[in-house]
Structure 1
């Protein structure tokens, strides 16, 4: 018999009803199995799993249902403890996570570049603190490393889940203490959770339309409604049992459960738009999972969902999820280093490896920590966790001091790392996709000091403009030109049109409107340097027409190369396979690499200005390409820092082209005045 707190005597009569709900849910375990298989299929790029990333959303519904139900049940039985709840979750999540994090740190030592390894160790520390969703959010911008270089990227969901474990019990306990009477307490909890869920969903839908950085993907604020969908089902079930109400027969029917399974499978198979996730379409898998959980069908051991393979995968699902992504990342790295592509057979092996390691982790890591509480007492669990984290933090500190332990690699590989780790120049002045920057001034300056009577310039565009800032600044200084920086991530320069640019992000459209207004409002800056990830010759032509008509001199930076792969990474791999330094690497200048079609379209669109001295073109392709060959690496240095952007180490090779352009611009401006 349990004991209740004062004023809660009526709960004594419902203890049996509350504890009777603890029977193992085979249908929920089958839902876990489907979810983890969906995630594996999506991440391993297997046919039929185009929307498999929704498996993470389904996991959130399950954890919300189980954990919210546990908190409310324990409060009803006067036995809830934040310490006990946290330790229960710690036993369930932390040991297996530690093994995967430590294993990934060991594997990364042998296959990653110094800068990449340093980032990985930092991310590992955040993962063990359940804060990795924040660090990956900060690394989610335009210059973020590819997902395939982050072995612990998937731990963002665990961090978000743990943060839910913190605030959900706090809200439920606070409402429980404030409300009076068991029935009123439950109704108040449902109202509070529903209010928070509605606010979170509203925020999610707003963010999906206005968040250019994709921060909503990692945000608990935008995702809290997902676990709360399950939590509200649990709370409603408990209230019905306490009130002695019927079991909502219309909900707990096979047709509801079957509809939920069909909806969920459809979401997994259909190519849902991950770039707008979570958003309005996220309601579909959450609804499907909620229908399955709420219907409570298909839980018999002799049924389809109770089949042993399905239940075993459900049991192993957490460990499978932990292991699958590092397997994928490190397997891709290993195969790439040896020049192999990833085919169906190799993907199958990765799936089998994920299942096998998941089974081993469940048997030898998860279960001992959960069951052998005589050995793994709370004190020992916390001490061991602290020791592991301290060791990892020490390794990370050493990695910071040595910049990623470069001595573990042959010296000839280090220039590849130097090229990659250089980021956009004057980063404090480069706006992110939400048009936010660290510098306080509206437009940062470059080049010479502002001089009355001398022309001034503005560099306008996205990262493909900002990457030339060092040679542009040096050329401006040589020509006594004062310049301003107007560059924003993933925001090409264009004249905003409500119809034509409806698909562009609002911050980008506003940035281009304000920049154009600034340029046209006065005589200076008289020189406009345009650079962007160009794709539409008509858009370029319209902007240049507008500027030339306003007596501006335009310096147009032409497209460089369409490479399509990470140059420093591939250079690193090629040298490692060869076992020696490769100081020169050229590719055939075919039409795809040189973007000849786009360049021809730009030339055609601007042919009407061919005799206009105030339109000056800078062609960086003429500097990195000779005859029918284009240099990716020259004189032991990479020309590129990623798949398309130039590296800072070789940026000054373009200085001469910009010096010539500025001399022509100054001369054209003088002739116009005359």
Structure 2
């Protein structure tokens, strides 16, 4: 039986939103399908505010009853999905991923999943596409809104009803301006956090409060409805992950959803009739379950299969549809209509129980360090290649971390390893070979920080720019003052000048940022030519200044890049689930292709003329007589597309660094 205020067109709009999100996440056709979440926000804001306003005006609104309804509507299906995800994770995920799953589950149980994913982003954080509960960020945004809005709105409506619309309007404008301003300064905050997302929910809320006063002609309604649907469809078709989002770009889908709801409030438009068709309404009715299930199913496919074929994706979508229908039929609907959960005491006990179970299970994963005993020793060794970054050799101080042999009473090392995350990737090998060669050293390593003074990365943010520029200068000063005579520079040189090969798409914000492109003074916009000049100029100056202090510089060229993003994880999947990954290959980038790609960078570095500079090219160590890059042996040689694992560094680069150290001995 339909409720008195039920609108089929809104369920149809839900269907459009959830289909867009699912197709986007499945990489099928809709590059901007992520705007479906924004459509959901508008719908939620409208429906929730409509209930609050109506019941407050009728003097029968109760906060307890409101939250009881939210518990019955949201928690049963969400709890089932999270617990099912936990159980699947126990079977499928390696320890680090299981710890991450536990943390995200605990965060969701506390309604702060959006805060967790905001704070957990980082250089070596797990890719967003591999986190099974990532989609719960939007649920937490809505849940936080469900706490704030009723308290605020009821207070205003009961005392000064006429102030409700102006107050929410001001809040919406402030939130929107915050979203726009944060898009460049802090894009993750703009994407994840309620203050910068509230305007989307408030758009629906304002419509619920002021929409009753809208009286438009039939023709006007029809035109606006077409514009509304067109805005959403256009966003889904033509937005991409490179579109700065949310900010101004979110106006189109938000306005579109608002128009569709508004134009069908008092009469049904042609578009409203389309949205009210049985198929769309049916999908809309199970849209919550579809949203809950689709992402974990797709993510676990990525944790099972190296290659996502059309067949795998199709099977995942079919499984999503089946699970969603069963969830709606046997969980959502029964719990929503349950008489047992209609009292506040029963509903809050149920919520506390689900929260305790989910939170407790998540804490177990965290405290037990991802339950590594699920795997045998060979598997754990392979897993280590996924997670090891060399972070134990990273210390953002001027003198860094001591490596090699320890010299009692001597403060100046024989050499310094100075680099970014590529330096971290070879740090264990360098430490080991230095000990074997009776050399002392210091590792001056920071991920994402080029080992060159005077360079800036403007897209990192002003605070980061200042701190890293200062750190590099302090490291240079320490090298000179200490009297170090050999500096080994290791970095991702190519990406400093060529953003095309370092276009990192933030999967949470959808924003492309070439984080590795450099400039030589603040305020400059990085580009190929600007970054090329900056790198050559500043590196030349630093090398010549080091020459004045009789410091030999060994510049090691970048290791060849693989074409795969998750090499070590893929190797783990090949070994753990061989029957699912039989066609995966171990040979990758062709030598000729890589030489062509790096040619400009090699030419630039080779053009720096100084007697104290020696360019070390490791390419022959990677290819030898082979024409293609070898990614795997008994272990994975690469962690991701351009970072070596410890076995990879040993396999490819032992001879390279042995030669450097033997020549350091000769020169000393």
Per the TM superposition, whether the score is higher than 0.5 is yes
Inter-CA distance 132–234: structure 2 relative to 1 (3 Å threshold): same
Q: Provide the residue aligned with 1:73 in structure 2.
A: 54
CA distance 1:456–1:250, shift in 2 (3 Å): farther
1:129-148 matched pairs, under 5 angstroms: 129-148=110-129
Alignment of 1:471-510 (within 5 A): 471-472=429-430, 483=442, 485=444, 487-489=446-448, 492=450, 506=462, 509-510=465-466
Tell me if structure 2 keeps the 8 A contact 1:26–1:299.
no
CA distance in 2, matches of 1:209, 1:627: 47
- Change in Cα spacing, 1:55 to 1:133, as seen in structure 2 (3 Å) is same
Separation of aligned partners in 1, 2:666 and 2:243: 47
What SS class does the counterpart of residue 606 from structure 1 fall into?
A: helix
Aligned residue among 324, 327, 346 for 2:297: 327
Q: Which residue of 1 aligns with 2:215?
A: 247
For 2:603, the equivalent position in structure 1 comes to 604
Distance change >3 Å, CA 71–CA 452, structure 1 → 2: same
1:188 aligns with 163
516-525 vs 106-115, which deviates more? 516-525
Bigger shift: 144-153 or 480-489? 480-489
- Say whether 1:57 aligns with 2:56: no
Counterpart of 2:640? 642
1:125 aligns with 2:106: yes
Report matched runs for 1:39-118 at 5 Å. 39-47=21-29, 49-118=30-99
Aligned to 1:296: 264
Closer, same or farther in 2 for the Cα pair 1:606/1:363, shift >3 Å?
A: closer
* SS of structure 2 residue aligned to 1:554: strand
Q: Distance in 2 between matches of 1:114 and 1:503?
A: 33
Report whether the alignment pairs 1:342 with 2:309.
Answer: yes
How far is the alpha carbon of 1:577 from its aligned partner?
A: 4.6
Counterpart in the other structure of 1:229? 203
Structure 2 unmatched runs, 5+: 499-531
Q: Distance in 1 between matches of 2:206 and 2:154?
A: 15
Q: 1:396 to 1:314 in 2, by over 3 A?
A: closer
| Secondary structure at 1:370 match in 2 | helix
Matches within 5 A, 1:109-508: 109-176=90-157, 180=159, 185-211=160-186, 214-237=188-211, 240=213, 247=215, 253-273=221-241, 276-296=244-264, 299=268, 303-336=273-306, 341-343=308-310, 345-374=311-340, 377-426=343-392, 429=395, 444-447=400-403, 457=416, 459-461=418-420, 463-472=421-430, 483=442, 485=444, 487-489=446-448, 492=450, 506=462
**1:558·1:618 contact (CA, 8 Å) conserved in 2?**
yes
Q: 1:231 to 1:588 in 2, by over 3 A?
A: closer
2:12 equivalent among 14, 27, 30:
30
User: 1:270 Cα deviation (Å)?
Assistant: 0.7
Taking the aligned partners of 2:328 and 2:287, their CA distance within structure 1 comes to 9
Q: Which moved more, 1:140-149 or 1:471-480?
A: 471-480
Deviation, structure 1 residue 205: 1.4
Q: Is the 8 A contact 2:102 2:366 kept in 1?
A: no
Kindly state the Cα deviation for residue 255 of structure 1 after the two structures are TM-superposed: 1.2
Q: Distance in 2 between the 1:427 and 1:67 partners? A: 52
Cα separation, 1, equivalents of 2:195 and 2:665: 52
Q: Taking structure 2 as the reference length, what is the TM-score of the superposition? A: 0.80
Contact 2:588–2:631 (8 Å) recurs in 1: no
Q: What are the residue-to-residue correspondences of 1:540-551 with 2, within 5 Å? A: 540-551=535-546
Deviations 1:406-433 (A, max 9, x none): 3444543222212223244148746xxx
1:532 is matched with which residue? 492
Q: Confirm or deny: 8 A CA contact 1:614 1:665 kept in the other structure.
A: no
Are the counterparts in 1 of residues 301 and 312 from structure 2 also a CA contact under 8 Å? no
Q: CA deviation at 1:155?
A: 1.1
CA RMSD of aligned residues (A): 3.9
Native 8 Å contact 1:470 1:652 kept in 2: no
Judge conservation of contact 1:492–1:534 (CA < 8 Å) in 2. no
Alignment partners' CA distance in 2, 1:197 and 1:310: 30
Worse overlay, 619-628 or 361-370: 619-628
Partner of residue 12, structure 1: none
With 412-421 and 446-455 compared, the bigger mean Cα shift is at 446-455
- Give distance in 2, aligned partners of 1:341 and 1:198: 42
**Do the aligned partners of 1:299 and 1:305 also contact (CA within 8 Å) in 2?**
no
With over 3 angstroms needed to count, the CA separation of the structure-2 counterparts of 1:451 and 1:197, relative to structure 1, is farther
Aligned-partner Cα distance in 2 for 1:457–1:353: 54
**What's the TM-score once normalised by structure 1's chain length?**
0.79
Render the CA deviation track for 1:154-212: whole Å, top value 9, x for unaligned.
111101110111122233244446xx5xxxx2332223222222222222112211226
Please give the alpha-carbon distance, in whole angstroms, between the structure 1 residues aligned to 2:447 and 2:218. Answer: 54
Tell me by how many angstroms 1:60 deviates.
Answer: 0.6
Contact 2:10 2:43 in 1 (8 A): yes
521 and 410 in structure 1: CA distance in 2 versus 1, 3 angstrom threshold = closer
How many residue pairs get aligned? The number is 611
Distance 1:234 1:398, change over 3 A: closer
- The Cα shift of 1:215 comes to 3.6
Contact 1:520 1:550 in 2 (8 A): no
Q: CA deviation at 1:613?
A: 3.9
* Cα gap change, 1:548 to 1:588, in 2 (>3 Å): same
Indicate if the aligned counterparts of 2:12 and 2:280 stay in contact, CA closer than 8 A.
Answer: yes
Is the contact made by 2:493 and 2:601 (CA closer than 8 Å) also made in structure 1? no
Q: Say if 1:497 and 1:279 are closer, same or farther in 2 by CA, change over 3 A.
A: farther
* CA distance 1:293–1:577, shift in 2 (3 Å): closer
Query: Displacement, 1:29?
Result: 1.7
